[in-house]
Amino acid sequence: MGQVFDLAIIGGGVNGCGIARDAAGRGNSVFLCEMNDLASGTSSWSTKLVHGGLRYLEYYEFRLVREALIEREILWQIAPHIIRPLRFVLPHHAGLRPAWLLRLGLFLYDHIGGRKLLPPTRSVDLAHDEVGKPLVPGRYHKGFEYSDCFVDDARLVVLTARDAMERGADIRTRTRAVETRQADGLWHVTVEDTPTGERSTIAARVLVNAAGPWVEQVLTLGAGINTRAKVRLVQGSHIVVKKLYEHDRAYIFQNGDGRIVFAIPYQDDFTLIGTTDRDYDGDPAKVAATPEEIAYLCASVSEYLAKPVKPEDVVWTYAGVRPLYDDGASEAKAATREYAFELDAPGGAPLLSVYGGKITTYRRLAEEALEKLSPYLKGTKAREGWTATAPLPGGDMDVSAVAALTAELVRDYPFLTTVHAGRLAHAYGTRAVKTLGTAKSMADLGRNFGATLTESEVRYLMANEWACTADDIVWRRSKLGLRLSAAEIAALGEWLDAQRAQAGRPAREAGARS
């Protein structure tokens, strides 16, 4: 028998990669397989927020909100290049939640999570403050402004995986688990390289099922586990439109149906609007925003904005399936965002299945997962809590240093525009120079694919961040798909195919939805 890993993890979303990183940092040997690209499922289709979840207070999920609020500042400090503070404006809507209730909720939001760095809530006179200007004149007078954070969700996953790999984890993308079985107190996991069809088997002491929407399907691969927990699939869809207003704050709008919808400044020139909540029945890989959801989101924000948003204004949509723990809630919007674990060891080899969770609490979820598995991992060095202070790749800088890093890149690479340098600083942090190397001109960066994407950066992503397809690059490693034309994206895909052909590797299937 070859190497026996301490942990084998199925699923390359934020939870699987978070567990891999924490476990590797504690000295465990880790194997992780993902059937598509990292973050190609739920983890890249979020509302892009690191937040406590203000509306969860209405469902008395105080523990979840407190934990998420604590994590909010922790994540900002370990990844300040991909996470940034964002102020949210909450207009008071007569006839919906009363102002005193909003004020009470925001008081709790400010105080139960140990907020230290982010500014507190303030009251806003919408009739005179600039944040009231985009709203319907004369309709909204009172509001509140509070803090949360924005995150590049897909990059959070990729950088977490990268850190896990640098700490010794074996990360394999485009690798599907096709069978699991127990023998001699170990898990034997057969995996298939999806482009080649080649199969191999690895052995591990512990198996972690972090397959997200596919968590129940993994349990049918031969594990022989009679699961008790159930997953509830809830579809969340988003739309992107051209920038709706000039200031830098986001809005949180209340709807008459009890839901809330966010309008968030996005990629400098756009506004992100979401999300919906509806139960989903079908293949999670085929989820897409429906015309009804698009119309709902347009109508929701148009209730507040002076200039209505129409379906024809939408430049991009995306949808994902949230694998929530099924707590029996009657409505999708009320289903808990708490995570849950199910630990089984029928043949002596433990299997931990992960249900639910949210981007904001992924680090704590990983810690709790390893706490549950600690009896089976006694031979490893335990460094509990280390992920709270160790920066993600490129995040070894002060939370306010991205602007200075941008200026430094422009100084050292004077052929870069400020926009180009800023994009690199936000995506790669202190590792941005690795995408530029010793270049003395734009020509030294190789082919220009458009929208500041160069051959040098693409090669970096292929070599260091598991990027294989055009979709990997323009929708997950970046959001340049919003700026590149269909022809430019196709040209990038053809170039990538040519590179693989030269290396004697088979073509990779694109796994993204756009």
> The domain spanning residue 171 has which CATH number?
3.50.50.60
Lowest mean pLDDT among 24-33, 142-151, 238-247, 343-352: 343-352
**Distance between CA 267 and CA 151 in Å, rounded?**
11
Mean pLDDT over 184-193 rounds to 95
pLDDT at residue 96 in the model = 87
Supply the DSSP symbol for 139.
T
- Choose the final residue of a domain: 323, 350, 380: 323
Domain carrying residue 371: 4-42+154-230+337-388
Q: Which sign, positive or negative, has the C-alpha torsion 355, 358, 361, 363?
A: positive
Q: Are residues 243 and 176 in the same domain?
A: no
Whole-number percent of the chain with pLDDT over 70: 94
- Choose the final residue of a domain: 274, 290, 323: 323
Closest CA to 262 of 278, 240, 289: 240
pLDDT at residue 24 in the model = 96
pLDDT at residue 384 in the model = 72
3-state helix, strand, coil in the chain (%, to 5): 35, 25, 40
pLDDT at residue 326 in the model = 80
**Distance between CA 152 and CA 197 in Å, rounded?**
32
Q: Are residues 314 and 249 in the same domain?
A: yes
Structure-derived torsion over alpha carbons of residues 354, 360, 362, 365, reported in degrees to the nearest 10: -70
Q: Are residues 430 and 499 in the same domain?
A: yes
Q: Are residues 458 and 438 in the same domain?
A: yes
Q: Are residues 225 and 341 in the same domain?
A: yes
- pLDDT tens digits for range 56-84: 888 788 999 999 999 999 999 999 999 99
Residue 100 in domain: no
Q: Are residues 178 and 225 in the same domain?
A: yes
In this predicted structure, the answer to whether residue 105 has a pLDDT above a threshold of 70 is yes
Token pair recorded at residue 459: 């090669």
Token pair recorded at residue 24: 């590797």
In this predicted structure, the answer to whether residue 511 has a pLDDT above a threshold of 50 is no
Mean pLDDT over 14-22 rounds to 98
State the residue for tokens 């989903």: 280
In this predicted structure, the answer to whether residue 185 has a pLDDT above a threshold of 80 is yes
Q: Are residues 349 and 481 in the same domain?
A: no
Query: Residue 108: CB partners within 8 Å, gap ≥ 6?
Result: 57, 62, 65
Look at residue 104 and give its three-state secondary structure: helix
Residue 107 in domain: no
- pLDDT tens digits for range 353-405: 999 989 999 999 999 999 999 999 865 555 678 999 999 999 999 999 999 99
Look at residue 125 and give its three-state secondary structure: strand
Q: Are residues 212 and 243 in the same domain?
A: no
Residue 429 in domain: yes
pLDDT at residue 514 in the model = 35
* Residue 330 CA, distance from chain mean position: 27
Whole-number percent of the chain with pLDDT over 90: 82
pLDDT at residue 226 in the model = 64
E runs forming strands in 310-350: 314-325, 339-344
pLDDT at residue 498 in the model = 95
**Distance between CA 61 and CA 50 in Å, rounded?**
17
Closest CA to 148 of 108, 109, 112: 109
Instruction: Decide: 493 and 474 in contact? Cβ < 8 Å.
Output: no
Q: Is the peptide bond before 275 cis (omega within 30 degrees of 0)?
A: yes
> The domain spanning residue 316 has which CATH number?
3.30.9.10
pLDDT at residue 268 in the model = 96
> The domain spanning residue 462 has which CATH number?
1.10.8.870
In this predicted structure, the answer to whether residue 422 has a pLDDT above a threshold of 60 is yes
Residue 214: count of CB within 10 angstroms of its CB: 21
In this predicted structure, the answer to whether residue 223 has a pLDDT above a threshold of 60 is no
Q: Which sign, positive or negative, has the C-alpha torsion 432, 15, 231, 331?
A: negative
Binning pLDDT at 50, 70 and 90, where does residue 348 land? Answer: confident
In this predicted structure, the answer to whether residue 315 has a pLDDT above a threshold of 70 is yes
- pLDDT tens digits for range 129-182: 999 999 999 999 999 999 999 999 999 999 999 999 999 999 999 999 999 999
Binning pLDDT at 50, 70 and 90, where does residue 247 land? Answer: very high
Q: Are residues 317 and 342 in the same domain?
A: no
Look at residue 79 and give its three-state secondary structure: coil
pLDDT at residue 330 in the model = 62
Residue 217 in domain: yes
pLDDT at residue 95 in the model = 85
pLDDT at residue 513 in the model = 37
State the residue for tokens 């294989």: 468
Lowest mean pLDDT among 266-270, 414-418, 500-504: 500-504
Q: Are residues 220 and 369 in the same domain?
A: yes
Q: Are residues 381 and 474 in the same domain?
A: no
Mean pLDDT over 299-307 rounds to 97
- pLDDT tens digits for range 427-476: 999 999 999 999 999 999 999 999 999 999 999 999 999 999 999 999 99
pLDDT at residue 512 in the model = 39
Residue 366 in domain: yes
Q: Say whether pTM exceeds 0.75.
A: yes
Residue 80 in domain: no
Q: Are residues 203 and 249 in the same domain?
A: no
pLDDT at residue 194 in the model = 94
335/247: higher pLDDT: 247
In this predicted structure, the answer to whether residue 284 has a pLDDT above a threshold of 60 is yes
Q: Tell me the DSSP string of 373-429.
A: HGGG-TTSPP-TTGGGTSPPTT--S-TT-HHHHHHHHHHHSTTS-HHHHHHHHHHHG
Supply the DSSP symbol for 508.
P
pLDDT at residue 227 in the model = 65
pLDDT at residue 222 in the model = 74
Average pLDDT, the chain: 93
Supply the DSSP symbol for 382.
P
pLDDT at residue 363 in the model = 97
Structure-derived torsion over alpha carbons of residues 95, 99, 102, 106, reported in degrees to the nearest 10: 160
Residue 106 in domain: no
Binning pLDDT at 50, 70 and 90, where does residue 102 land? Answer: very high
Residue 453 in domain: yes
**Distance between CA 478 and CA 267 in Å, rounded?**
10
Look at residue 253 and give its three-state secondary structure: strand
In this predicted structure, the answer to whether residue 236 has a pLDDT above a threshold of 50 is yes
Indicate the number of domains in the chain.
3
- Choose the final residue of a domain: 297, 323, 349: 323
